[in-house]
């Protein structure tokens, strides 16, 4: 136990790190230190519990700083002192970061057990921003006041981990790599308490998760949602008898949605794609139909600026009829569709013009595969960055890309069947960077005339394209004269 003299010497301590103290059976009292901002505790393999002593309950230091009392935390003393001074007792008054890692034998973490009579005169971790707990497989309880942090990351807990029912709400929470976690036990109460303040939620590697709790749809403050590598997730929230399709219309602040590696997920619930949505990323969901009502995506068009759709075979052949309406889209990453396709599906002028709302009538040839000359009907005309992911059987890029005159960045990846870049590439007059990756049969760039039309091109990257790499060798390659004028070349 820390003596009064020791405590006095540590009054100005800002950061403490305890590592590999393998014989340590008890953590020192630190809660009374007025300037302590960072605590990192790792590798205490002999530690089995953290109790009230961690909060400085038996400390003899008790100094007053501008009307706020720090120090002794015994309930009788703090209550009496606080009543006398009419000021709260603050435990860990300056702490911002708290990390516990690699403690295989810790089983319990208890708070102070403050009674209702003194709870109004005590504050815990008022400035805590980041809590990280990892590799503590035997830990079964954590104190309630810890869950009021801005970002909570829990990694590697078994199914016996239970949240303290008295926790307060947090503004950021991440839960991942909890392979045996009972998701209903962990999340239902957390989401209920946090429904007005939670802004970021990440759910990852929960193999037994079939759906999120129904109170998930009430998270009105949620801005950022990530669901990844949940191999048995069937739906985002469970369908009820009253509604054939579950509804997430309560997520009125959602700005970013990322779903990845959910192999059995079949559809997105109604209301998930809010008009506030700015970024939508969907990857490796082979059975997912984009949404129960495909037209719902168009309701997001005023705000949606960033869209990623990769390894999404069910979307091939229908996405071009649904996504062209996203007129504010600036960044698009798309591809890795069906391996048997010999063309890259892209919305045609016919589709977009027929669906556009215009005051003038124009003739459209249903058999015309080229763009209609009216720029209003060019899909994705506002794109600034386009990343295309191909597959082995693709031999050509979509001709419609030549009308993306605002495009600045164009990465092309995995086009193994592509042997030459099209001549129309020279029409992309705003292009600043061109990246070519994993195109093993690519040999030829457009003509010198076309490449010189790219007057804004500042960067060319060629990676894992063995044939083109050889032909673009500095000074000696057959294609070098086409790119010699580009300021930054990386091969």
Residues 180, 147 contacting (CB under 8 angstroms): no
Q: What is the pLDDT of residue 242?
A: 53
Confidence of residue 299 (pLDDT cuts 50, 70, 90): low
Q: Which residues contact 107 (CB under 8 A, 6 or more apart)?
A: 48, 49, 138, 139, 140
Whole-angstrom CA distances from 119 to 90, 116, 293, 332 are: 11, 5, 49, 51
- Residue that the structure tokens 């954590």 belong to: 142
Confidence of residue 84 (pLDDT cuts 50, 70, 90): very low
Nearest to 276 by CA among 212, 324, 321, 328: 328
SS3 of residue 354 by DSSP:
helix
The backbone region for 395, taken as left when phi is positive above 0, alpha when psi lies in -120 to 50, beta otherwise, is alpha
Residue 291, CA atoms < 13 Å, CB-side half-sphere: 20
Q: Based on the structure, what is the number of domains in the chain?
A: 1
Cα Rg for the chain, rounded, in angstroms?
29
Residues 332, 307 contacting (CB under 8 angstroms): yes
Q: What is the pLDDT of residue 355?
A: 46
- Residue that the structure tokens 């209903």 belong to: 184
Span 123-174, pLDDT tens digits: 888 888 788 888 887 887 777 666 555 555 555 444 444 444 434 445 555 5
Got the DSSP string for 399-441?
GGGGG-TT--EEEEE--TT--B--GGGGG-TT--EEEEES-TT
Stretch among 229-233, 234-238, 313-317, 412-416 having the lowest mean pLDDT: 313-317
In a domain, 408, yes or no: yes
In a domain, 438, yes or no: yes
Span 170-214, pLDDT tens digits: 555 555 544 444 555 556 666 766 677 778 888 887 777 888 887
Whole-angstrom CA distances from 18 to 21, 49, 137, 155, 308 are: 7, 15, 19, 20, 42
Task: Report angle CA 344, 230, 144 to the nearest 5 degrees.
Answer: 140
Q: What is the pLDDT of residue 305?
A: 92
CATH code: domain of residue 448: 3.80.10.10
For residue 258, list its beta bridge partners.
226, 281
Strands 68-71 and 62-65: antiparallel
Q: What is the pLDDT of residue 326?
A: 76
For residue 260, list its beta bridge partners.
228, 283
In a domain, 390, yes or no: yes
Confidence of residue 320 (pLDDT cuts 50, 70, 90): low
Nearest to 338 by CA among 408, 377, 286, 379: 286
Q: What is the pLDDT of residue 276?
A: 87
Q: What is the pLDDT of residue 372?
A: 36
Confidence of residue 365 (pLDDT cuts 50, 70, 90): very low
Could you list the residue range(s) of the whole structural domain that residue 488 is in?
339-354+376-491
Span 21-76, pLDDT tens digits: 999 999 999 988 999 999 999 999 999 999 888 987 643 333 333 333 334 454 44
Q: What is the pLDDT of residue 197?
A: 74
- In the DSSP assignment, the letter for residue 126 is T
In a domain, 400, yes or no: yes
In a domain, 422, yes or no: yes
Residues 479, 471 contacting (CB under 8 angstroms): yes
Whether 86 shows a pLDDT value over 50: the answer reads: yes
In a domain, 55, yes or no: no
For residue 50, list its beta bridge partners.
109
In a domain, 214, yes or no: no
Distance spanning both ends of the chain, measured CA to CA: 61
Higher pLDDT, 448 or 243: 448
Would you tell me how many other CB atoms lie within 10 Å of the CB of residue 452?
13
Nearest to 49 by CA among 155, 145, 138: 138
Residues 192, 214 contacting (CB under 8 angstroms): no
Higher pLDDT, 382 or 466: 466
Q: Is the pTM for the entire model greater than 0.85?
A: no
480 sits in which H/E element: helix 480-483
Mean pLDDT of the chain: 76
Residues 204, 176 contacting (CB under 8 angstroms): yes
Q: What is the pLDDT of residue 5?
A: 59
Stretch among 75-79, 262-266, 397-401, 484-488 having the lowest mean pLDDT: 75-79
Q: Which residues contact 416 (CB under 8 A, 6 or more apart)?
A: 390, 391, 392, 394, 438, 439, 440, 441
Question: What is the share, in percent, of the chain residues with pLDDT greater than 70?
Answer: 67
- Tokens matching residue 366: 């249903």
In a domain, 286, yes or no: no
Residue 27, CA atoms < 13 Å, CB-side half-sphere: 31
Per-residue pLDDT, averaged over 472-481, amounts to 95
Span 392-444, pLDDT tens digits: 888 999 998 998 989 999 999 999 999 999 999 999 999 999 999 999 999 99
Confidence of residue 262 (pLDDT cuts 50, 70, 90): very high
Got the DSSP string for 61-123?
-EEEETTEEEE---HHHHHHHHHHHT--EEESTT--EEEEE--TT--EE------HHHHTTEE
């Amino acid at each position: 136990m820390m003596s009064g003299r020791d405590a006095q010497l540590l009054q100005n301590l800002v950061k403490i790190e305890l590592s590999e103290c393998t014989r340590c059976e008890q953590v020192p009292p630190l809660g009374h230190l007025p300037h302590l901002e960072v605590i990192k505790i790792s590798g205490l393999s002999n530690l089995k519990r953290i109790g009230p002593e961690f909060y400085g309950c038996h400390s003899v230091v008790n100094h007053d700083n501008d009307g706020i009392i720090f120090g002794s935390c015994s309930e009788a003393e703090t209550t009496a002192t606080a009543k006398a001074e009419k000021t709260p007792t603050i435990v860990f008054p300056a702490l911002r970061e708290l990390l516990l890692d690699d403690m295989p034998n810790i089983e319990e973490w208890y708070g102070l057990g403050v009674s209702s009579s003194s709870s109004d005169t005590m504050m815990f971790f008022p400035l805590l921003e980041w809590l990280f707990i990892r590799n503590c497989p035997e830990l079964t309880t954590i104190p309630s006041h810890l869950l009021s942090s801005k970002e909570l990351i829990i990694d590697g807990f078994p199914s016996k981990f239970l949240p303290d029912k008295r926790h307060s709400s947090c503004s950021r929470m991440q839960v991942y790599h909890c392979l045996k976690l009972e998701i209903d036990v962990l999340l239902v109460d957390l989401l209920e308490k946090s429904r007005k303040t939670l802004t970021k939620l990440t759910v990852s590697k929960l193999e037994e998760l079939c759906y999120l709790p129904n109170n998930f749809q009430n998270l009105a403050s949620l801005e950022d949602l990530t669901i990844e590598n949940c191999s048995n997730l069937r739906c985002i929230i469970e369908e009820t008898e009253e509604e054939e399709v579950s509804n997430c219309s309560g997520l009125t602040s959602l700005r970013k949605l990322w779903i990845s590696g959910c192999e059995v997920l079949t559809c997105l619930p109604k209301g998930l794609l809010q008009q506030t949505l700015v970024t939508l990323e969907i990857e490796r969901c082979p059975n997912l139909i984009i949404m129960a009502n495909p037209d719902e995506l168009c309701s997001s068009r005023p705000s949606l600026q960033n869209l990623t759709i990769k390894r999404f075979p069910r979307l091939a052949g229908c996405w071009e009829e649904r996504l062209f309406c996203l007129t504010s889209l600036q960044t698009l990453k798309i591809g890795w569709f069906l391996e048997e396709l010999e063309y890259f599906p892209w919305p045609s002028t016919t589709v977009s013009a027929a669906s556009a709302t215009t005051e003038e009538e124009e003739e459209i040839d249903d058999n015309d595969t080229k763009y209609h000359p009216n720029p209003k009907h060019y899909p994705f005309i506002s794109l600034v960055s386009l990343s295309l992911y191909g597959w082995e059987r693709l031999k050509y890029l979509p001709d419609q890309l030549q009308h993306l005159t605002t495009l600045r960045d164009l990465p092309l990846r995995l086009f193994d069947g592509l042997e030459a870049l099209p001549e129309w590439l020279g029409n992309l007059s705003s292009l600043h960077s061109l990246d070519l990756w994993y195109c093993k049969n690519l040999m030829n760039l457009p003509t010198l005339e076309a490449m010189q039309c790219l007057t804004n091109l500042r960067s060319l990257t060629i990676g894992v394209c063995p044939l083109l790499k050889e032909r673009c060798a500095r000074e000696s390659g057959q294609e070098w004269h086409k790119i010699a004028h580009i300021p930054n070349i990386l091969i």
